[in-house]
A and B are shown apart, each in its own frame.
Chain A
Amino acid sequence: MRIELEKRANPSTLFSILSPFLALALTVVAGGIMFALIGKSPVAALYSFFIEPLLDIWSLHEIAIKAAPLILIGAGLSVCYRSNNWNIGAEGQFIAGAIAGAIVPVVFHDWHSSLVLPLMLIFGMIGGALYAAIPAFLKAHMNTNEILTSLMLVYIAQLFLDWLVRGPWRSPDAYNFPVTRDFVPEAILPELISSGRANLGFAFAIIAAVGLWIMMRYTLKGFEITVLGQSERAGRFAGFSSKRMIWFSMLLSGALAGLAGISEVSGTIGKLQPIISPGYGFTAIIVAFLGRLNPLGIIAAGLFLALTYVGGEAVQLTLSVSDKVTRVFQGLLLFFVLSCDTLIQYKIRLVFSRFGQTTEGSAH
Chain B
Amino acid sequence: MSAVGASEGSPLLAVRSLTKLFGSFAACNGIDLDIRPGEIHALLGENGAGKSTLVKMLFGVLSPTSGQILWKGEPVRIPSPGAARRLGIGMVFQHFSLFEALTVAENIALSLSPGISLSKVAEEASRLSHLYGLPLDPKAHVADLSVGERQRIEIVRALLQHPELIILDEPTSVLTPQEADRLFETLAKLKAEGRSVLYISHRLEEVQRICDRATVLRHGKVTGACDPRQETPASLARMMVGSDVASVTAAGTNTKGEVLLEANHLSVPARTPFAVTLKNVCLKVRGGEVLAIAGVAGNGQGELFDALSGEYPVAEASAVAIRGKAAGNLGITARRLMGAGFVPEERHGHAAVPSLPLSDNLVLARNQSDRKTFLAGGVLGIIKHAVVRIASKRISETMDVRKSGDDPAAGSLSGGNLQKYIVGRELDRQPAVLIVNQPTWGVDAGAASRIRQALVDLAKSGSAVLVISQDLDEIFEVATEIAVVSEGRLSDVYPAHDLTREKIGLLMGGMYGKTEGGEVAHAH
- A binding-site residues for B, Cβ under 8 Å: 6, 8-10, 218-221, 223, 226-227, 230-231, 233-234, 236-239, 354-359, 362-363
Contact B66 A219 (CB under 8 A): no
Contact A237 B344 (CB under 8 A): yes
Pairs across A and B, CB under 8 Å, 20 listed: A6-B22, A6-B23, A9-B412, A10-B412, A218-B383, A220-B375, A223-B360, A223-B367, A226-B353, A231-B349, A234-B350, A237-B309, A237-B332, A237-B342, A238-B365, A354-B77, A356-B19, A356-B66, A358-B17, A362-B75
Task: Return chain B residues, CB-CB under 8 Å to A358.
Answer: 17, 66-68
Task: Return chain A residues, CB-CB under 8 Å to B381.
Answer: 219-221
Task: Return chain B residues, CB-CB under 8 Å to A354.
Answer: 63, 77, 79
Interface of A is mostly: helix
Once bound together, how far apart are the Cα atoms of A262 and B19, in whole Å? 64
- Could you give, for residues 345-366 of chain B, a 1 whenever the CB lies within 8 Å of some chain A CB and a 0 otherwise? 0100111111110001001110
B409 contacts the other chain (CB 8 A): yes
Contact flag A356-B65 (CB < 8 Å), given A10-B409, A220-B375, A234-B353: yes
User: What is the CB-to-nearest-CB distance from B308 to chain A, in angstroms, rounded to a whole number?
Assistant: 13
Once bound together, how far apart are the Cα atoms of A336 and B232, in whole Å? 59
Q: Which residue of B lies closest to A229 (CB)?
A: B353
Task: Return chain B residues, CB-CB under 8 Å to A6.
Answer: 22-23
Q: Which residue of B lies closest to A357 (CB)?
A: B66
Contact B351 A359 (CB under 8 A): no
User: What is the CB-to-nearest-CB distance from B136 to chain A, in angstroms, rounded to a whole number?
Assistant: 34
Most buried by A among B25, B331, B353: B353
User: What is the CB-to-nearest-CB distance from B49 to chain A, in angstroms, rounded to a whole number?
Assistant: 18
Contact B65 A239 (CB under 8 A): no
- Among candidates A8, A223, A227, A237, residue contacting B311 with C-beta atoms closer than 8 Å: A237
Contact B364 A237 (CB under 8 A): yes
Once bound together, how far apart are the Cα atoms of A220 and B360, in whole Å? 10
B329 contacts the other chain (CB 8 A): no
User: What is the CB-to-nearest-CB distance from B60 to chain A, in angstroms, rounded to a whole number?
Assistant: 11
Q: Which residue of B lies closest to A231 (CB)?
A: B349
Task: Return chain A residues, CB-CB under 8 Å to B63.
Answer: 354-355
Task: Return chain B residues, CB-CB under 8 Å to A356.
Answer: 19, 64-67
Task: Return chain B residues, CB-CB under 8 Å to A221.
Answer: 381
Contact flag A220-B383 (CB < 8 Å), given A234-B353, A237-B351: yes
Contact A227 B356 (CB under 8 A): yes
Task: Return chain B residues, CB-CB under 8 Å to A359.
Answer: 64, 66-68, 75, 77
B368 contacts the other chain (CB 8 A): yes
- Could you give, for residues 362-395 of chain B, a 1 whenever the CB lies within 8 Å of some chain A CB and a 0 otherwise? 0111011000000101001111000000000000
Once bound together, how far apart are the Cα atoms of A6 and B353, in whole Å? 22
Contact A218 B365 (CB under 8 A): no
B85 contacts the other chain (CB 8 A): no
User: What is the CB-to-nearest-CB distance from A245 to chain B, in angstroms, rounded to a whole number?
Assistant: 14
Contact B25 A234 (CB under 8 A): no
Task: Return chain B residues, CB-CB under 8 Å to A226.
Answer: 353, 356
Once bound together, how far apart are the Cα atoms of A354 and B368, in whole Å? 52
Q: Which residue of B lies closest to A215 (CB)?
A: B380
Task: Return chain B residues, CB-CB under 8 Å to A234.
Answer: 349-353, 364
- Chain B positions 7-38 with a Cβ under 8 Å from a chain A Cβ: 17, 19, 22-23, 25
Contact A9 B25 (CB under 8 A): yes
Q: Which residue of B lies closest to A234 (CB)?
A: B353
The 9 closest A-B pairs by CB, nearest first: A220-B381, A239-B333, A356-B66, A231-B349, A358-B66, A238-B364, A233-B350, A230-B353, A363-B75
Contact B412 A230 (CB under 8 A): no
Contact B412 A227 (CB under 8 A): no
B420 contacts the other chain (CB 8 A): no
